Structure 1
Amino acid sequence: MGACFTLTRAVLLTVGCLGLALWFGAAIGETSIPLDVVAKTVANRVFHAGYPLDAIDEGIIWNYRLSRAVVAACCGAALALSGVVLQALLRNPLADPYILGISAGASTGAVSVAILGFGAGMLTMPLGAFLGALVAFALVSLLAFRAGRGNSAIILAGVAGSQLFNALTSFIVTKAANAEQARGIMFWLLGNLSGVRWSDVWLALPVTIIGLVVCLCYARALDAFTFGAQSAGSLGVPVRRVYIVLTGVSALMTGIMVSIVGSIGFIGLVIPHAARMIVGIRHGRLLPAAALTGAVFMIAADILSRTIVTGQVLPIGVITALFGAPAFALILSQRRRAI
């Protein structure tokens, strides 16, 4: 009875926090729109309530801001989940899709499809990004295995892989793209939600939900990985299957999000640490907490990207880096004092 009440309260708190963040994300922008107009717009579009509203305000909220906020939430949640999974599997607090080169590989895959036409029309940008993310992680894992110098090898290999795929992306854009394509790709690579619409929501939302569900199904296995892969195997965890499934899910979430909004750093690195400070290290709680924290953080970052400079929209990757780097430095200093 008590456990059921606690779970219900947690679900209500999660829904309330996420709903409030989406509400403010749809209301705040270059032109502020009252919160009640946002609520009435959603009621009109979803429940056909028939509230009399200004057509321009209603169009801005529904067609632009709300879809953008939902994709931002999905992106933040997916990257945070990927960070939690990679940090647990690799037992490295610095592991995240950006540092390990997965985001860079996804960018290369997406750009190869968009500009070079890889796949002869059979590959879409999301699928190209997913394949690029898998190739990047496979290469980084191979480099780390060949280096064989402990836990830091994966990070060093990730830095090398990230530089390699970033260089490949830049080469493709410089060699094959025209001026307009190059300008759009470079802005997109810094993180851009300006072109997001509801069609992107129907791709990002299912991937995020599926990723969360799969990760939660392996929460106990991730707890076992806290003591290392060998210890997890002695506890009956199918180590190889867990690695394949969870790295595949992480690559899928990262690839899809990169194909929609570009490469965004620090979410998968900082958010898992922040969530651990709130709920602890048990993954049954940590995974949903990290997803919620990442979603709310990305919505807040998107609001700042639209309002911090009057008349100009900044790449969201700039905002996440400006806040993520100092936050991670603070987390590191607190962990050092705790030790």
Structure 2
Amino acid sequence: MARKKQISISDIAKAMGTSITTVSFILNGKAKERRISDAVNKRVLDYVKKVGYKPSQLVRKPAGRTKVIALLVDNVADPSFSETGRYIEDIAAEYGYQVLYCDTANDLNKATQHIQLCIEKEVDGLIVIPPEDFEETIMRTKQRIPIVLFDRFIPEIEISYVVSDNRKGAYDATKYLLEQESKRIGLVSLYSNQTHIRGRLDGYMDAMDEFRMQSFIKKVSVESSPDEIKEQVIEFIVDNKLDAVLFATHSLAVKGLRGIKEKDIVMPKIVAVGNRVLLEYGVAEISVVEQDAAQLAKKLTEILVGEMEGRLQEVSRIIIPCQLKK
């Protein structure tokens, strides 16, 4: 005989047409405290009794309850994300939460699977770096579990996010190169319509237009191999006689620097949107547009905890300044 599927809190929320957070408050006896109507409270409790719901081991009644936040990033090895994650762990611990890491590889299917598992395991909330084409998934998810977007956002959807000021960061970087008397400055970026990549392109163009300089832009596919990216970057630099390059991501900068060293070409001045570890390459020409990991983590955790505890009713849109490390 097939084993009967255990009813989860997400199943109850779906059946009642309400959020997981609301059901959780009711089950924990906090309906009045959270201003949940008597009608909704009774309807949920009656349904719970009818289906014989029993809390899972992951989410127990308050005294011994494990509180968990899931952090979904597209590359847990990226120093920028791992540094922010460490800060999130420390801050979340102050609120009594543990952090679960999930690597989505910027893949929609993987992200969706991770989110579904988090919902089934009754994780309390999500901090998510959204992959491409995430709109439909996020619309479904935000009705079922508290969620805050990180690093990039989806303009068409009303949802809280905390991001870096990518446009201003790229503008400052390009302006810095121009003020260093670089004349032929190229941008190495990705084929992507996501907000962080668009912002960095816009910032580069803002500075180039302001100084009335010719722009040089190379976009590569995220599906390209490291060797392919290295070859494309070298060709881009040599063919356009570039004396400076802005790399739009940490990963692109690492691959580009390896290519430059392997081919032993003249090193142009370089600024990368990334992490200070790039400075350890020991090349004087490298500067970094660094995200403020501590502030990003602080705001992400505060907003998510506020939403999980029902204290925040409005969407939060937070933009954190970047820092140019020369």
**Would you say same fold, with TM above 0.5?**
no
Higher strand proportion (structure 1 or 2): 2
Normalised to the residue count of structure 1, the TM-score between the two structures is 0.29
Mark the structure with the bigger radius of gyration: 2
Higher RCO (CA-CA < 8 Å; seq separation 6+): 1
